[in-house]
Amino acid sequence: MTTSVFPSAGFAAIAFAAALMLAGCGERDAPVVNTEPPAPIVQGNQIRFAPDHPQLKLLAVVPATAAKSVSVDLPGRLVWNEERTQRVFAPFAGRVTDIRADVGQSVKAGDLLAQLASMVLTITSMA
């Protein structure tokens, strides 16, 4: 009778196979379900989230503050636009005593733009 150097080799192979089979019989992890939050609802210029939406945790309300005033000096040139200019003349010589319209103000025909004091008109009216 011959004796094996490894008398338990057969037993070890059987035990290893049994361990592999038992490992496959264990509880498996529950399948991973990809539960994405519902998409936000867009209505005109508003976006609405579900009450438990994770995006709401990233939003915050802060008071508005005025921005700092910025002044920039730039080179430029002022040009008179002759196509948008109307020259106004009085029918007689005189001195302007009151200005009723300002540059850029919209006026219509018959609006008082300025008052004049004139000696020529006074003398002509008296005659």
Rounded to whole angstroms, how far apart are CA atoms 26 and 9?
A: 26
Rounded to whole angstroms, how far apart are CA atoms 40 and 53?
A: 9
Q: Identify the residue whose tokens are 């059987």.
A: 14
Query: Any idea what DSSP says for residue 26?
Result: S
Residue 27 lies in a domain: no
Residue 123 lies in a domain: yes
pLDDT tens over the chain, length 127 residues = 555 555 566 677 777 777 777 666 666 666 667 678 888 889 988 989 888 888 888 888 899 998 888 888 888 887 878 887 777 777 778 888 899 988 888 888 888 888 888 887 677 666 6
Split into its structural domains, the chain has a count of 1
Residue 125 lies in a domain: yes
Q: What is the token pair recorded at 67?
A: 């921005």
CA-based angle 103:109:111, to the nearest 5? 60
Residue 62 lies in a domain: no
Query: Is residue 95 classed as helix, strand or coil in its secondary structure?
Result: strand
Residue 96 lies in a domain: yes
Position 63 scores a pLDDT of: 92
- Residues of the domain holding 94: 90-102+112-127
Give the contacts of 54 (CB within 8 A, at least 6 positions apart): 37
Question: What are the two backbone dihedrals, phi and then psi, of residue 11, each rounded to the nearest 5 degrees?
Answer: -65, -40
